[in-house]
Amino acid sequence: MTALRQLGYPPQTVSFWDNSFRRPAAKTRFIAGLAGGLAIVGVGLLCSHVLAADVKGQLLLGAYHRAPAPKPPRPAFNWEVENGVKEVARDRVSAPRELAAVLIGAGDSKAPDRVEVPVSGGALLPSTVVVRTGTTVRIRNDDEIGHEVYAEGLDGFSAEATSPRSIRSVHLTKAGNWPLRDRLAPHAQGHLHVLPDLVAVAKIEANGNYVFSDVAPGKYTLKVFHGALTVATKAIEVGDKALTVDPLTLEAAQTAAPAAAQTAAKAAP
């Protein structure tokens, strides 16, 4: 019991443990109790892991297209002109770059408290950004030119110069959604959603497959955002086994969530 003496325990305590461990029965009971305690801890950790399941599914992208935008007075590019020879280029949606699939509910959030959004090739990647309130968004400029990204109408996220290869951080505490713009590159556009009940954000592949990893059992709402639009909504219930959700059809005609800036403008006298 030298260790107890070194820790400064009184002689009576050292003597008690010394005598106890000299009795085989007492030593056996102590070791059994210690093993039982470790087993309980191990089972608890195992159960906490087992009770989290993956949720996966697919977004049906084949018939989906962006909501129609106002047509310009003339085609902007030659590939937009019907000439009877070549097919007009189809307006395709890049799921990993433009869509965000999320789970909303009362469960423990697995959403990260720091999210990095690169600006590369004059575009936000991804262009639909969904985070939980209290998250810090880091705008990373991967271009060789400066950018000034801002959230239109959101205080604290104004246009600020971000030089090449540098990062700008913005802490988001207000729930809502706002258009993302770049004062120096007007074509760099996106949309920011800040949700107080965000549980998880899925990884989406180019073919529309998505997966949420280690989701706790419970009832959730699965939502898919494309910019300001909510293009799919489905209620799901997660158990202790992996869940495969039926394929989701995306509806471009669904109503966009009102941007905070627009709501404030309508409320103003």
Asked if 166 and 40 sit in the same domain, the reply is no
Peptide bond just before 126 cis, omega within 30 deg: yes
Asked if 24 and 131 sit in the same domain, the reply is no
In a domain, 78, yes or no: no
Asked if 94 and 162 sit in the same domain, the reply is yes
Strands 53-60 and 209-215: antiparallel
State residue 33's pLDDT score: 53
State residue 62's pLDDT score: 84
Asked if 169 and 213 sit in the same domain, the reply is yes
Q: Provide the domain limits for residue 235.
A: 53-66+87-264
Characterise 108 by phi-psi region: left (phi > 0), alpha (psi -120 to 50), beta (else): beta
Asked if 31 and 109 sit in the same domain, the reply is no
In a domain, 206, yes or no: yes
Q: Which of 210, 214, 221, 219 is nearest to 242 (CA)?
A: 214
CA 183 to chain centre: 26
pLDDT digits (tens, 9 = 90+) for 196-246: 999 999 999 999 999 999 999 999 999 999 999 999 999 999 999 999 999
State residue 251's pLDDT score: 86
In a domain, 122, yes or no: yes
In a domain, 71, yes or no: no
Asked if 248 and 118 sit in the same domain, the reply is yes
- Residues in a beta bridge with 100: 225
In one-letter notation, the amino acid at residue 82 is E
Q: Which of 179, 67, 198 is nearest to 128 (CA)?
A: 179
In a domain, 212, yes or no: yes
Taking the C-alpha atoms of residue 235 and residue 226, their distance in angstroms, rounded to an integer, is 19
Asked if 180 and 232 sit in the same domain, the reply is yes
In a domain, 72, yes or no: no
The 3-state DSSP class for residue 49 equals helix
Taking the C-alpha atoms of residue 15 and residue 7, their distance in angstroms, rounded to an integer, is 14
Name the token pair of 195. 């949700």
Q: Which of 99, 126, 101, 102 is nearest to 115 (CA)?
A: 126
In a domain, 126, yes or no: yes
Asked if 215 and 117 sit in the same domain, the reply is yes
CA distances (Å), origin 209, targets 95, 110, 180, 222: 9, 20, 26, 14
pLDDT digits (tens, 9 = 90+) for 169-187: 999 999 999 999 999 999 9
Taking the C-alpha atoms of residue 60 and residue 45, their distance in angstroms, rounded to an integer, is 37
Asked if 62 and 38 sit in the same domain, the reply is no
Contact 65, 91 (CB under 8 A): yes
Asked if 128 and 42 sit in the same domain, the reply is no
> Which H or E element spans position 60?
strand 53-60
CA 235 to chain centre: 18
pLDDT digits (tens, 9 = 90+) for 68-123: 555 555 556 665 566 666 655 556 789 999 999 999 999 789 999 999 999 999 99
Asked if 59 and 125 sit in the same domain, the reply is yes
In a domain, 73, yes or no: no
Domain count, the chain: 2
Asked if 110 and 12 sit in the same domain, the reply is no
Task: Give the CATH number for residue 242.
Answer: 2.60.40.420
- Averaged over 111-136, what is the pLDDT? 96
Report pTM: 0.72
DSSP state of 185: -
As a whole-number percent, the residues of the chain with pLDDT over 70 amount to 65
